[in-house]
Structure 1
């Protein structure tokens, strides 16, 4: 079936996902446009008085890809990034674009071992690339397809509880 997204993830070759020629296939312009919208939203929240460490980006599938794209490139760190059943987009540009604060942002990443939509191999390849870029990733995997399970929800809850601060 055709992917209900801006491009077909399943047509990607996980072993060459970080090659520059994959950027066109990934719709780099669309990814960067989404990044600009999310960045503008974050800046509005900061202007309203929300501390960056109290902002968490989370996304599932291609939403997780956008969370990674935005969070790792922010000049000021965030409270955390949660990337579920996803992959690292535009991986070849990460080294040159990731901010020091973005690389230090806490990162929860989870994937189903039977995911037929975003292949498990693409998730683990993304994990490897993130670790090579100096990111500390809390990695979780589950016996599930392209979905969310109760064990994952519990892990997310625990992870967030350890990182969220009460308002002053």
Structure 2
């Protein structure tokens, strides 16, 4: 047998063996599939939740991340948290100093009659809505989305919840204020009016005066919205553990109601 014949014979045998091996592999290897936990059904997606926390003037998102450690109840096992940071911008009440700020603040202490940067607020609201929309697109139901914020972040929370076109799980305002005039009420959708509001404010607050916080519930009432207002007699411009405990209970109740409704 010539060298060429022997080579062709060996090549044919190798091809045949490879064909047999490929056939065997096709019989024994099952099509790949995602693990069950990576492919949640509709109910699992429904039970997921999202909490967006908006910090105050001059603060940052990462500095507020320890807040999530207060939320230890089982209902928060599937909760996604976000602590974004405001962009750096000059702030009028601080003589134009550049610092993290969601929008401009013209004067402090903040009172019910303080001038407001409505255009800046509305621009910041667009960014918050984009964050919410991303979570909705990822499968989290709006009923399980909660926006919370302190001081300037509380004012932005209120604006973002009022102007979002859908009903959300809730908005929680801590030591915040109403950041625009009553003309905005006309832009609040019928669905947004169903979003519940929790408002917490320290009576001893000398930065955002308690009176500024008290102006919130009547404003919301005129918009046809419900508001649970909690006053803390000895609290200044800060967040107390008692407030976070109350927030956990408040969110838990709404998560359960959402899940029961789906069931």
2:186 maps to 1:107: no
Alpha-carbon shift at residue 91 of structure 1 (Å) = 2.9
Per-residue displacement from partner, 1:108-136 (whole Å, max 9, x unpaired)?
11100010111000110122111222111
Of residues 92, 106, 129 in structure 1, which corresponds to 2:182? 92
> Could you say what secondary structure the match of 1:10 adopts?
coil
Which residue of structure 2 aligns with residue 10 of structure 1? 108
Report the CA distance shift for 1:13/1:60 in structure 2 as closer, same or farther (over 3 A).
closer
Q: Is the 8 A contact 2:109 2:209 kept in 1?
A: no
Superposed displacement of residue 12, structure 1: 5.1
Task: Tell me the equivalent position of 1:145.
Answer: 236
Q: Distance in 2 between matches of 1:151 and 1:13?
A: 25
Range moving further from structure 2, 37-46 or 88-97: 88-97
TM-score, normalised by the number of residues in structure 1:
0.86
Greater relative contact order structure (CA < 8 Å, 6+ sep): 1
TM-score (structure 2 length as normaliser): 0.56
Q: How does 1:53-92 map to 2 (within 5 A)?
A: 53-92=143-182
What is the Cα-based RMSD across aligned positions, in Å? Answer: 2.2
CA distance 1:127–1:30, change in 2 (3 Å)? same
Runs of 4 or more, structure 1, over 6 Å off, are none
- Equivalent residues of 1:116, 1:146 under 8 A apart: yes
Q: Which has the larger radius of gyration?
A: 2
